[in-house]
Amino acid sequence: MTAPAPTHVPVMFDEVMEALRLSPGMVAVDGTLGLAGHAREIARRIAPGGKLIAFDWDDRMMAIARERLAEVEGCDVQYVHEDYRAIPEVLQKQAEPGADAIFIDMGLNNAQIEDAEYGISFLREGPLDMRMDKRRETTAADWLNHATAQEIEDVLFNEGGERWARRIAATIVERRKTKPLATTTDLVDCVMAAIPAAKRDPRIHPATRTFQGVRIFINDELEDLGECVTAIAQSLRPGGTMVVLAYHSGEDGAVKHAFHALARTDEFSEPHRKPARPSEAEVARNPKARSVRLRTLVRQPKSKKKAPEGAA
């Protein structure tokens, strides 16, 4: 029996397409290709004559996306197996003067969560890996077996928002003395042993915050995010649009501050200061969209300077 094809439902699909204002011949960047759910439609809309530069740090996703994009005609697709934070350098290397549209759909896709080999799901037994880019050296197990209790506590608290961080860190350090952590189940067991049953938040799995914190740390997901978003926005051509989907407050906070600061300059504007949210119908169909926030930034067309604030 063959394994079912990996799936991921693209989030806020119609809203993203509308915000990007795509048309034939444009240069577009998808910083987080995933399974090409958005990218396929972006490619269709910028064909004929369009160019799509597609980034993903996970070459396993990129291989599947390539097959899905092969069916789109009239669009030159370039694949870049890199962190999207490298968008400005990559555009420069390609002698591309800028993009008309840049889209970033942060975080994970469903295929990565459901594949136990990634080690990011507390619901699936697998190696305690968590690296999205296999070229990185340190797995979650390597780090958790060598970090100090204080380092682990800081990551669980700061990146995961876990208030039981100290007890979980102490349990990890104690248990690894007899048997190093190797699987996702080993980490779940540490969390379960550390958080008293009566104190667990009934709305989420007790290991949710620990897994999130370790994954964010192992992949440097928040490292310089605000500065990078600001630099990426500078890669827009005049009149170009950048759209970002963020799923947790760490990511969205960085995008919000970067976009607000840029919109205070003459060069950029935000069509909406508040983020757009998914419809109730979408959340009912796809609960994973529940926490998403969509933000849009537009680079002013060359001929247009923004009116000073407060001007009629």
Ligand X SMILES: C[S@@+](CC[C@H](N)C(=O)[O-])C[C@H]1O[C@@H](n2cnc3c(N)ncnc32)[C@H](O)[C@@H]1O
Q: Point out which residues bind ligand X (CB under 6 A).
A: 8, 10, 32, 34-38, 55-58, 61, 83-85, 105, 107-109, 132
Nearest-angstrom CA–CA distance, 54 and 20? 15
Under DSSP, is residue 232 helix (H, G, I), strand (E, B) or coil? Answer: helix
Q: Which is nearer to ligand X, 32 or 241 (CB)?
A: 32
Shortest spacing between CB 113 and ligand X, in angstroms: 10
Query: Shortest distance, CB of residue 24 to ligand X, whole angstroms?
Result: 21
Nearer to ligand X, 210 or 219 (CB): 219
- The DSSP annotation for 68-101 comes to HHTT--SEEEEEE-S-GGGHHHHHHHTT---EEE
- CB closer to ligand X out of 57 and 122: 57
Give the amino acid at 243: V
What is the closest distance, in whole angstroms, from the C-beta atom of residue 261 to ligand X in the complex?
21
Could you check whether the bond before residue 271 is cis, i.e. omega within 30 degrees of 0? Answer: no
201 vs 227, which CB is nearer to ligand X?
227
Q: How far is the CB of 176 from ligand X (least distance, A)?
A: 28
Of the pair 26, 173, the CB lying nearest ligand X is at 26
Q: Are strands 50-55 and 75-80 parallel, antiparallel or unpaired?
A: parallel
Number of separate helices (H) and strands (E) present in the chain: 13, 7
Q: What whole-number distance in Å separates Cα of residue 38 and Cα of residue 41?
A: 6
Give least dist CB 115 to ligand X, A. 12
